[in-house]
Structure 1
Amino acid sequence: MTTSHTLAAENLTLGYGDRVVVADLDLTVPPGAITVIVGANACGKSTLLRSMSRLLAPREGRVVLDGKEVHRRPAKELARTLGLLPQSPLAPEGITVLDLVGRGRHPHQGIFSRWNENDDAAVASALEATRTADLADRAVDELSGGQRQRVWIAMVLAQQTDLLLLDEPTTFLDVTHQIEVLDLLTDLNRTRGTTIVMVLHDLNLAARYADHLIALAGGRLHAAGTPAGVLTEESVRAVFGLDSRIIEDPLSGRPLMLPIGRHHTASADI
């Protein structure tokens, strides 16, 4: 693995039909780091991730990987460097967990290359890391939502790319499995240098796990930088329309957001 890949959006405008979702966006993903994208619903987070992975063509601007536009690269070539876990992926009916995770090896299969021991090892490692090895022979459509989500994560891990894009990877997971998955991705980043970009809804998990935080508001970049620099009371109000108090997490030292509801007031002692 390498930390030298550079992924950036340049003057990027995205949309569906007549609707513009992301406008005039410029950002750079720090190589070898964990970047988390946050923002209110329908602000363009998932749309941005789709464009970065070549699934959605820009209306204006471009997405660039190592100096080349991703939308001009062959899909299989790109998939050897960049993996995507989309929001709510669909599995073929009746497919087993082992077969689905094995599909993560497809970009590494060529006309003359066949499945080999490296593919077996990659799949076994991904199943073990996501604690889904005991589900290998089960049909994916028989699993619970949390089990399916871990299997999808195993598939993208089996792809063994230098960059990973994950859209809400903790969806359907209880709090224990949320932490396990985010710890797993952190280990992957720290030990292999994998660049990770993910969308998270939980601001406190985002602040805890991100090296680089991107806040979108109304399809535009509101702020980008360290969690401490981005997760401020002013930013939470501007991005989410929510009053909050930001304190230091006593365990991680990262910012911790405490929402202020309409029926509560912030204590002056916090």
Structure 2
Amino acid sequence: MTTNHSLAIEKLTLGYGDRTVIDDLDMSVPAGRITSIVGANACGKSTLLRSMSRLLKPHKGHVLLDGKDVHQLPPKQLARMLGLLPQSPIAPEGITVSDLVGRGRHPHQGLFSRWSKDDDKAVADALDLTQTAQLADRAIDELSGGQRQRVWIAMALAQHTDLLLLDEPTTFLDVSHQVEVLDLLTDLNRTRGTTIVMVLHDLNLAARYSDHLIALADGRIHASGTPEEVLTEDCVRAVFGLDNRIIADPVSGKPLMLPLGRHHGGHSLASTRSR
């Protein structure tokens, strides 16, 4: 089991130049649980995740890890506790899969320490878990989009952090691999106790795999709580402008959102507004 670190946000305002994206936001992440952040395009999901990993400095407010501002922590110390898989990571040209995954071990290397058996095991386990071991000697730029995404996840797993932030980890993956990745993250949470925060577009997968949902709208939290509390018809209408129905997922028992359109039982609010 890993250590359950606290991750919280206080009065956070984020933006780019004069444009505010997140405004005066307060939030806490349940330790040892899986949290998914959902919302319409450009609502601030990725911006929020970037700030939580200190890639983006806030205009106001704080991101607190164990009560300390992440911008005040030494980079290597932070990297041993918190890992990030960004939305569009860039790999050095020509780097192999095994070398890229091995970079996840850098926070655990001292100034004069050598590569250890623990590092070998962490990389091998990450490759096995993501079913990328057979790709170990291939160059990243030779792989398909789905293969690359699984390799990036392997690098994040090799980092062995207690908190893992993932921005659209199912991007480029077909349905079967989306489920595999989310099953993998669930295994990681249940076996290691890793706190996971991820941005997902698919509301139904978010509800099925998450303990906690946060719905963003216009740079603020519209709803936060269990999937049953957040994924409601009213919330989906308010956040996405989409008429819908919520039923119980026959597989997981979690809420399942059925979108309604002009041709299937209803009218989207977005199309109604445009008339």
TM-score range, shorter chain: over 0.9
Q: 1:263 deviation in Å? A: 1.8
**TM-score normalised by L of structure 2:** 0.96
Match of 1:197 in 2: 197
State how many pairs are aligned.
Answer: 266
CA RMSD of aligned residues (A): 0.7
Q: Deviations over 1:219-240 (max 9, x none)?
A: 1010100000000000000000
Q: Deviations over 1:137-169 (max 9, x none)?
A: 000001000000000000000000000000000
Match of 1:166 in 2: 166
| Residue pair 1:85, 1:165 contacting (<8 A) in 2 also | yes
| Residue pair 1:3, 1:195 contacting (<8 A) in 2 also | no
Match of 2:122 in 1: 122
Q: 1:265 deviation in Å? A: 1.0
The unaligned stretches of length 5 or more in structure 1 are none
Matches within 5 A, 1:21-60: 21-60=21-60
Show structure 1 runs of 4+ deviating over 3 A: none
Give the 3-state SS of the residue equivalent to 1:183 in structure 2. Answer: helix
Q: Deviations over 1:149-205 (max 9, x none)?
A: 000000000000000000000000000100000000000000110000000000000
| Residue pair 1:44, 1:218 contacting (<8 A) in 2 also | yes
In 2, the alpha carbon distance for the partners of 1:14 and 1:44 equals 9
Match of 2:83 in 1: 83
Give the 3-state SS of the residue equivalent to 2:62 in structure 1. Answer: strand
Q: Deviations over 1:107-149 (max 9, x none)?
A: 0011121110000000000000000000000000010000000
| Residue pair 2:208, 2:254 contacting (<8 A) in 1 also | yes
| Residue pair 1:12, 1:60 contacting (<8 A) in 2 also | yes
Give the 3-state SS of the residue equivalent to 1:179 in structure 2. Answer: helix
The unaligned stretches of length 5 or more in structure 2 are 267-275
| Residue pair 2:43, 2:219 contacting (<8 A) in 1 also | yes
Match of 1:103 in 2: 103
Match of 2:239 in 1: 239
Q: 1:74 deviation in Å? A: 1.2
Match of 1:13 in 2: 13
| Residue pair 2:4, 2:162 contacting (<8 A) in 1 also | no
Q: 1:3 deviation in Å? A: 4.5
In 2, the alpha carbon distance for the partners of 1:199 and 1:226 equals 16
